Amino acid sequence: MITLFQFYRVWDLPNASPFCMKVETYLRMAKLPYENKFVNNPQKSPKRKLPHIKMDGIFYPDSEFIVDELKRRFGDELDHDLTPEQKALAVLLDVTFCERLYWVIVYMRWQDIEGWEYIKETMFNKLPAVSKLFVPNMVRKYMLKQLNQQGTGRHSLKEVERMGIKILDNMATILGEKNYFLSDKPTSVDATAFAFLVNIIWTPLNDPFKQHVLKQKNLVAYCNRMWDEYYSDFVKPKLNGVQK
């Protein structure tokens, strides 16, 4: 049995961490049996980050390495029909989501003051009263440091919105009228794409970045399609107050 270590669920999402949701989505897509272990503190993880998995007594950290190991161990049924060019595009798409769009999402949640106020209210609400006095600000300070070191945190809100919008407009173009990003059947990169898009479209935040994404009807339809296929056991979150 595979044990998936990830953050506790919030916002009616499988996970508010797109990396945790990426791994869980891949496990569901590949039909691999697993169990969840929800944790609060990533500092106890092998690389002090979540997610990680445990198989046969061995821990495997980092979503990219986890998926690679699962493919190696159990085969790559999702991607075996892809051409070399499609496989190369899948790598570039995955990197764009994980290494570029991720930082836009982090900025909107932790650096933008409106996003931060909501994060503080909803993600730390189960902490003991004393911990609430210092833990949220301590975590935010850490996230802001990461944003600054990476570079996205040095930009204005409008600049970061433009960065994110450019990525998502191009993702909408790549998806086009296909059911999934590389073809009309799902492949492993859809686990990544879905996890990141859902963490924009179906979060309670309501910034201009999210509002722009909602205008990309094919991206919204794609998220609905993936949710219905792989998370039918979950109640789908409301979109702008209306169930979709």
- For residue 62, how far is the Cα from the chain centroid? 13
- Domain of residue 161, CATH code: 1.20.1050.130
Q: Which residues have C-beta within 8 Å of that of residue 63, sequence separation ≥ 6?
A: 19, 20, 22, 23, 51, 98
Please count the structural domains in the chain: 1
Name the H helices within the chain: 18-29, 63-74, 84-96, 102-106, 113-123, 129-132, 135-150, 157-175, 189-201, 208-214, 217-230
Residue with tokens 């980092």: 62
Give me the pLDDT at residue 243, please.
35
What are 38's strand-pairing partners? 6
Give me the pLDDT at residue 16, please.
95
Give me the pLDDT at residue 244, please.
37
**Domain that includes residue 12, residue range:** 2-243
Give me the pLDDT at residue 132, please.
81
In angstroms, how far is the first alpha carbon of the chain from the final one?
A: 34
User: Distance between CA atoms of 109 and 98, rounded to whole angstroms?
Assistant: 16
Give me the pLDDT at residue 201, please.
95
Give me the pLDDT at residue 85, please.
97
Q: What is the pLDDT along the chain (244 residues), one digit of tens a residue?
A: 999 999 999 999 999 999 999 999 999 999 999 999 999 888 888 898 999 999 999 999 999 999 999 999 999 999 999 999 999 999 999 999 999 999 999 999 999 999 999 898 888 877 788 888 888 899 999 999 999 999 999 999 999 999 999 999 999 999 999 999 998 899 999 999 999 999 999 998 888 889 999 999 999 999 999 999 999 999 998 775 433 3
Q: Which residues have C-beta within 8 Å of that of residue 4, sequence separation ≥ 6?
A: 20, 23, 24, 27, 34, 35, 36, 37, 51, 53
- Residue 94's SS3 state is helix
pTM for the whole thing?
Answer: 0.94
Give me the pLDDT at residue 240, please.
58
Give me the pLDDT at residue 40, please.
82
